[in-house]
Amino acid sequence: MILNERESRHEHVLHVARQMMTAARTAPKGKGIDIVEVAMVTEDDIKVLSDTMVEMVAEHGMKFFLRDAENILHAECIVLIGTREQVQGMNCGHCGYATCESRKKGVPCAINTVDVGIAIGSACATAADHRVDTRVMFSAGLAAQRLNWLEGCTQVFAIPVSASSKNPFFDRKPKE
């Protein structure tokens, strides 16, 4: 039997994305409290995400969303990582407020922000270990948050995943 890499690539990328999801889940969490949510976007839902990003440009004018919306269409899948908002009750002041109670609505707990960052780093390290291409995207994450694909999450980031001869997520031209 001869198995051409081109015939098995898609399944391989999906397998690596599943491993990325596990890496995000098992990443260290502040105070040991798991507030991280992880999901994978595939097939037609990638187009839904791209279309949502395009729609958002009319609201906020951030043109790089157009570039990123086109860019994610080159992904085999997209891993979403987010955190549910949960005050950790440490009164550490790391968020810029002296106490958790004095923190203004909408300002994320710094521990939650660190948790999502560590989970993203673990997921991307796993992707690198398996030699698939990724890029962390705030834009696609914000669109996924708008779509409420990680229910209850207030900080969502997207990681498109690809295995091709050239990483499609770098050396990108800005959209006019």
The pLDDT of residue 15: 98
CATH code: domain 5-162 is 3.40.109.10
Distance, CA of 67 to chain centre: 17
Q: Which residues contact 143 (CB under 8 A, 6 or more apart)?
A: 49, 52, 53, 56, 65, 158
Give pLDDT tens digits for 99-141. 999 999 889 999 999 999 999 999 999 999 999 999 999 999 9
Is residue 113 within 8 A of residue 84, CB to CB? The reply is: no
Is residue 40 within 8 A of residue 21, CB to CB? The reply is: yes
The pLDDT of residue 89: 86
Extents of the domains making up the chain: 5-162
Instruction: State both tokens at 46.
Output: 């990638």
Q: How far apart (Å, rounded) are the C-alpha atoms in residues 83 and 100?
A: 17
Q: How far apart (Å, rounded) are the C-alpha atoms in residues 133 and 125?
A: 11
Give pLDDT tens digits for 38-81. 999 999 999 999 999 999 999 999 999 999 999 999 999 999 99
Asked if residue 162 has pLDDT above 80, the reply is yes
